[in-house]
């Protein structure tokens, strides 16, 4: 069963444009060690198991984009938040696709950690 909904899945290029324009809030739902290894600049870290208890930390004034390593966890988060009224999306292919396309990861020397 696929969790991804293509209508609400962003490409790295679409996400970069939205981030550059300040149009979205990016939430990285990966584990702490994955976040420490490398992350997309501008992301906010909330591990997936903490999302429900931290929902109030995620504004509804602009769209929210969830991301993980490959897009599976972020798709689940997106679906849950859409069901609760957020204008939610996720990064298709995750940070792995972002990095594979040569986009910036922080900190310097950052990398995509294996799950």
Catalytic residue (choose from 48, 68, 91, 95): 68
Rounded Cα distance, 36 and 20, in Å: 22
Q: How many CB atoms are closer than 10 A to CB 44?
A: 13
Backbone angles phi, psi at 45, to 5 degrees: -100, 120
User: In this structure, what token pair is assigned to residue 77?
Assistant: 């988060």
Rounded Cα distance, 99 and 105, in Å: 7
State yes or no: is 102 an active-site residue.
Answer: no
Query: Which element (helix H / strand E) includes 48?
Result: none
Smallest Cα–Cα separation from 67: which of 108, 38, 102, 107? 38
- Name the residues annotated as catalytic: 68
């Amino acid at each position: 069963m696929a969790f991804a909904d293509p209508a609400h899945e962003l490409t790295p290029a679409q996400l970069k444009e939205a981030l550059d324009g300040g149009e979205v809030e990016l939430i990285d739902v990966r584990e702490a060690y994955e976040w420490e290894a490398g992350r997309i600049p501008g992301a906010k870290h909330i591990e997936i198991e903490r999302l429900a208890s931290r929902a109030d930390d995620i504004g509804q004034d602009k769209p929210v984009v969830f991301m993980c390593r490959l897009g599976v966890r972020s798709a689940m988060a997106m679906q849950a938040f859409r069901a609760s009224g957020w204008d939610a999306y996720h990064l298709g292919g995750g940070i792995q696709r972002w990095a594979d396309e040569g986009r910036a990861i922080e900190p310097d020397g950052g990398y995509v950690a294996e799950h």
